[in-house]
């Protein structure tokens, strides 16, 4: 045993030593290879967009961190948009090439990038797009281009949006593991997947209206970009008129079928190059290094942009989750910083823990006492995501933002049937009548359900009060917009849940106007862990990631998705203000 312990210690020591040497090498390479801008851009170049990593609103990269960005698992939308804006005024960049397949981004994020590309073209620079295969979201982005090219043996998807919701009632009955659900009485669609095997008419109607609105926004922009009327585009979708490369050209969805070397010839032609001339391209992730150092602010005034992204959980929070710890610190830093004249809260969240949402709401209220607060909604700002946004002086949403879902519920796992099936019996002993309030191994008592229901109703009423106060409407009006109903940004604007349609830059401009400042810089919050800390966490999580990958490979992606959703539901703590179901739009 002692020999084995020493052997393991020696192996661990070697791994740590190798890791330290590897990190020192990276730091050395970073220092040696750096230039004033961090990257060299040749004249007459094309900026190449290959959006291969998942896109988050804010990756939190630190320019001074030698490990910053090296181990990132996502690309920051903020950096993408700034790079495109800097490229617009960069004499060395003549055009942009979108060479992307299977983009991992939300609808509002895609729309924001598309707007930035449209703005890039305003001064006469070109945007071309090439794809081996266009998924609908990829094509929506590509439709802003001056010309769209497709691989002759490639393909594309253009058929309209659809949504799928998974239901678990039979699964619960077969396994003996169920979710006890307590909800506000009128909150019809909340946790419906745990209560039924099929979609209710009310739920089907709201989802249908939501995806119709999102699709309508996409079609309007594609129509403008491709010079095809909206009716024609819907006919193409209904008849699958772009299902083959030849049909895609015939229908006007793409301009020409080319192999990639032929596409490069088109880029040379756009740059007025000869056939033998070098084609100078620079990848977006490299250009970001330059763009991050450009357009530094003049003067002392700042606008703080605070990113709230991910599920809302009780606790510290992280780059992937919203916790009261990290958000409270960020809001207070922005509020107490004299250079910060206004705050923009960027929300991209389906909601989560109601208590955490209210704690963050309170911090926003306190910040508003000394400076304007404006909200910018991303892909989704629903339920708890809307809760933390509703107190702002002004709210912006993208047309394709999913928002609303004003409602609360509680889900509590119960394994009574499973315990009986496998021969487990649990006995409880307590000092008082209610000292043993709930057990996983016993059916939920009416008394306990009544107490939880009372808490649900109180939180729901509090949520309505926040909406009533923030949107300057009556409680009855707030209740009529609630009931867990989700809306697109377009419908939310019509109903008064948001003030304006627009992106993050529009929200920043509005914040500057409210603060009565013209020249300002941007200060981003929160500050996440350094690249080194992330590296250490990644090394510590290798085993867990391997286990997750193994399970997914063995049972399949769809079954693994169900497993993750069930696990997430069973791990929820406290009353929830979150989207009532996982909405998978494709």
> Residues 82, 94, 115, 188: which is the catalytic one?
188
| Cβ 395 vs Cβ 472: under 8 Å | no
What is the rounded CA–CA span in Å between residue 325 and residue 156? 44
What is the rounded CA–CA span in Å between residue 94 and residue 91? 7
Q: Please name the helix (run of DSSP H) or strand (run of DSSP E) that holds residue 546, with its range, or none.
A: helix 542-555
In three-state form (DSSP H/G/I as H, E/B as E, the rest C), the secondary structure along 467-517 is HHHHHCCCHHHHHHCCCCCEEEHHHHHHHCCCCEECCHHHHHHHHHHHHCC
**Interacting residues of 550 by C-beta distance below 8 A, sequence separation 6+:** none
> Residues 213, 291, 383, 488: which is the catalytic one?
383
Residue 528's nearest CA partner among 44, 158, 60 is 60
| Cβ 108 vs Cβ 76: under 8 Å | no
| Cβ 210 vs Cβ 487: under 8 Å | yes
In Å, how far are 67, 90, 150, 243 from 31, measured between CA atoms? 11, 25, 41, 49
| Residue 188 bears catalytic tag | yes
What is the rounded CA–CA span in Å between residue 149 and residue 286? 25
Q: Angle at CA 468, nearest 5°, toward 467 and 473?
A: 125
Coil, strand, or helix at residue 530? coil
| Residue 189 bears catalytic tag | no
Q: Which positions are annotated as active-site residues?
A: 188, 383
């Amino acid at each position: 045993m002692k020999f084995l312990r020493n052997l393991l210690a020696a192996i661990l020591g070697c791994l740590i030593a190798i890791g330290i040497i590897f990190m020192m090498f990276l730091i050395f390479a970073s220092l040696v290879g750096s230039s004033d801008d961090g990257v060299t851009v040749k004249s007459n170049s094309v900026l190449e967009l290959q959006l291969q990593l998942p896109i988050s609103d804010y990756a939190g990269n630190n320019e001074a961190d030698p490990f910053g960005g090296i181990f990132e698992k996502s690309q920051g939308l903020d950096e993408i948009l700034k790079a495109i804006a800097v490229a617009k005024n960069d004499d060395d960049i003549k055009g942009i090439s979108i060479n992307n397949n299977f983009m991992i981004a939300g609808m509002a994020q895609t729309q924001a990038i598309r707007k930035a590309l449209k703005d890039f073209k305003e001064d006469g620079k070109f945007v071309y797009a090439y794809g081996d295969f266009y998924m609908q979201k990829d094509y929506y982005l590509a439709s802003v281009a001056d010309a769209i090219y497709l691989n002759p043996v490639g393909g594309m998807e253009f058929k309209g949006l659809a949504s799928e919701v998974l239901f678990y009632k039979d699964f619960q009955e077969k396994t003996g593991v169920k979710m006890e659900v307590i909800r506000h009485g009128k909150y019809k669609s909340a946790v419906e997947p745990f209560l039924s095997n099929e979609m209710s008419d009310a739920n089907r109607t709201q989802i249908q209206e939501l995806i119709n609105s999102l699709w309508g926004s996409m079609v309007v922009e594609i129509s403008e970009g491709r010079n095809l009327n909206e009716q024609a585009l819907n006919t193409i979708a209904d008849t699958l008129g772009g299902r083959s490369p030849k049909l895609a050209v015939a229908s006007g969805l793409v301009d020409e079928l080319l192999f990639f070397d032929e596409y490069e010839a088109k880029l040379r032609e756009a740059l007025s190059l000869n056939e033998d001339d070098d084609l100078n391209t620079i990848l977006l992730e490299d250009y970001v290094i330059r763009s991050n150092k450009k357009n530094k602010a003049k003067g002392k005034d700042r606008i703080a942009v605070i990113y709230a992204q991910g599920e809302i959980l009780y606790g510290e929070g992280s780059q992937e989750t919203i916790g009261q710890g990290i958000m409270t610190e960020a809001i207070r830093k922005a509020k107490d910083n004299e250079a910060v004249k206004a705050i923009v809260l960027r929300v991209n969240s389906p909601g989560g823990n109601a208590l955490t949402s209210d704690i963050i709401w309170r911090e926003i209220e306190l910040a508003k006492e000394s400076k304007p607060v404006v909200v910018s909604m991303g892909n989704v700002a629903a339920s708890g995501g809307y809760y933390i946004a509703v107190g702002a002086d002004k709210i912006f949403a993208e047309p394709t933002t999913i928002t609303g879902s004003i409602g609360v519920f509680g889900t509590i796992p119960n394994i009574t049937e499973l315990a009986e099936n496998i021969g487990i019996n649990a006995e409880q002993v307590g000092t008082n009548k209610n000292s043993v309030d709930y057990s996983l191994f016993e059916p939920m008592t009416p008394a306990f359900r009544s107490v939880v229901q009372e808490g649900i109703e109180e939180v729901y009423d509090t949520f309505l009060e926040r909406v009533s106060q923030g949107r300057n409407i009556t409680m009855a009006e707030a209740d009529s917009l609630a009931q867990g109903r989700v809306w697109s940004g377009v419908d939310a604007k019509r109903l008064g849940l948001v003030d304006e349609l627009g992106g993050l830059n529009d929200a920043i401009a509005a914040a500057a106007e409210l603060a009565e400042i013209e020249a300002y810089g941007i200060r981003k919050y929160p500050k996440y862990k350094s690249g080194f800390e992330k590296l250490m966490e990644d090394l510590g999580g290798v085993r867990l990631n391997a286990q997750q990958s193994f399970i997914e490979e063995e049972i399949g992606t769809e079954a693994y998705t169900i497993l993750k959703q069930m696990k997430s539901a069973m791990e929820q703590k406290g009353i929830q203000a979150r989207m009532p179901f996982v909405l998978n739009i494709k």
